[in-house]
Chains A and B, each alone.
Chain A
Amino acid sequence: MSKLSIQLPGLDLKNPIMPASGCFGFGREYAQLYDLSKLGAIMIKATTVEKRLGNPTPRVAETPAGMLNAIGLQNPGLDKVMSEELPWLERFDVPIIANVAGTLTEDYVEVARRISTAPNVKALELNISCPNVKHGGITFGTDPVIARELVEAVKAVSKVPVYVKLSPNVTNIVEIAQAVEIGGADGITMINTLVGMRLDERTGKPVIANGTGGLSGPAVKPVAIRMVYEVYKAVEIPIIGMGGVTNTQDVIDFMSAGASAVAVGTANFVDHFVCSNIIDELPAKLKELGVTHIKEIIGRSHR
Chain B
Amino acid sequence: MIQQERMIVVRQSEIAHHIFELTLQGQIVQEMNPGQFVHIRVSDSFEPLLRRPISIANINKEAGEVTVIYRAEGRGTSILATKQVGDEVDVLGPIGNGFPVDAIPEKGTALLVGGGIGVPPLYELSKQLNARGIRTIHVFGFATENVTFYEDQFSTLGDTHFVTVDGTKGTKGFVTDLLEELKPEFDVFYSCGPLPMLRALENFYPDKPGYLSFEERMGCGIGACFACICKTTEQQEKDYVKVCSDGPVFPKGVVQL
- Which residues of A line the B interface, CB within 8 A? 22-25, 28-30, 32-33, 45, 53-54, 57-67, 69, 71, 74, 217-218, 246, 266-273
Q: Which residue of A lies closest to B45 (CB)?
A: A65
Is there an interface contact between B1 and A54, defined as CB atoms closer than 8 Å?
A: no
Known: A53-B239, A66-B49. A32 touches B229 (CB 8 A): no
Question: Is the beta-carbon distance between A59 and B226 smaller than 8 angstroms?
Answer: yes
Q: Is residue B50 within 8 Å, beta carbon to beta carbon, of the partner chain?
A: yes
Complex Cα distance A272/B92, Å? 9
What are 11 A-B residue pairs whose CB atoms fall within 8 Å in the complex?
A: A29-B222, A32-B222, A54-B226, A57-B216, A60-B50, A60-B218, A60-B225, A74-B229, A268-B220, A269-B220, A273-B4
Q: Are A65 and B240 in contact (CB under 8 A)?
A: no
Q: Is the CB of B221 within 8 A of A269?
A: yes
Chain B 207-225 interface residues, beta-carbon cutoff 8 Å to A: 216-225
- Assuming the contacts A57-B229, A59-B227, asked whether A272 and B49 have C-beta atoms less than 8 A apart, the reply is no
Task: List the B side residues contacting A66 at CB < 8 Å.
Answer: 49
CA distance A273 to B230 in the complex (A): 27
Contacts of A32 in B (CB 8 A): 1-2, 222
For residue A30, which residues in chain B have a CB less than 8 angstroms away from its CB? 222, 224
Closest residue of B by beta carbon distance from A26? B224
Taking A218-B46, A272-B220 as contacts, is the C-beta distance between A33 and B229 under 8 angstroms? no
Cβ-defined contact, A269 with B51, below 8 A:
yes
B41 at the interface (CB under 8 A from A): yes
Number of A-B contacts (CB under 8 A): 101
Shortest C-beta distance, A243 to chain B (Å), equals 13
- B48 close to chain A: CB less than 8 A: yes
On chain B, the number of residues with a Cβ less than 8 Å from chain A's Cβ atoms is 31
Rounded to whole angstroms, the CA-CA distance of A63 and B75 in the bound complex is 11
A55: nearest chain-B partner, CB-CB: B229
A266 to B46, CA, bound (A): 11
How many Å lie between the Cα of A112 and that of B146 in the bound state? 59
Do residues B229 and A217 form an inter-chain contact, with CB atoms below 8 A?
no
Known interface pairs A60-B217, A62-B49, A269-B219. Does A69 touch B227 (Cβ–Cβ under 8 Å)? yes
Contacts of A267 in B (CB 8 A): 46
Alpha-carbon distance A60/B46, docked complex (angstroms): 16
**Separation of A205 and B51 alpha carbons in the complex (Å):** 24
Find out whether the CB atom of B47 lies under 8 angstroms from the CB atom of A64: yes
User: Quick one: closest A residue to B240, CB to CB?
Assistant: A53
B228 within 8 Å of A (CB atoms) = yes
Which residues on the A side are within 8 Å of B77 (C-beta)?
A: none
B130 interface residue (CB < 8 Å to A): no
Ranked 5 nearest A-B pairs via Cβ: A25-B224, A269-B220, A29-B224, A60-B227, A29-B222
Given contacts A59-B229, A60-B219, A61-B217, contact A24 B46 (CB under 8 A): no
- Residues of A close to B227: CB separation below 8 A: 57, 59-60, 69, 71
Q: What residue of chain A has the Cβ atom nearest to residue B245's Cβ?
A: A29
Contact yes or no, B228 A217, CB < 8 A:
no
**Complex contact A266–B226 (CB within 8 A):** no
Chain A residues lying within 8 Å of B230, measured Cβ to Cβ, are 57
A contact residues around B50 at 8 Å (CB): 60, 62, 67, 269-270
**Nearest CB on B from A287, distance (A):** 25
With A and B bound together, what is the CA distance between A22 and B227 in angstroms? 11
B75 CB contacts on chain A under 8 angstroms: 62
**A269–B50 Cα gap in the complex (Å)?**
7
In the assembly, what is the distance between CA of A273 and CA of B41, in Å? 13
Q: Please state if A269 and B229 are interface contacts (CB–CB under 8 Å).
A: no
Task: Give the Cβ gap from B53 to chain A, nearest Cβ, in Å.
Answer: 12
Q: Tell me the bound Cα distance from A259 to B226 in angstroms.
A: 28
Q: Mark B74-87, 1 if CB is under 8 A from A, else 0.
A: 01000000000000
Contacts of A218 in B (CB 8 A): 46-47, 49
- Chain B residues with CB under 8 Å of A24's CB are 224
Q: Which residues of B contact A246 (CB under 8 A)?
A: 46
Asked if residues B2 and A25 are in contact (CB atoms below 8 Å), the reply is no
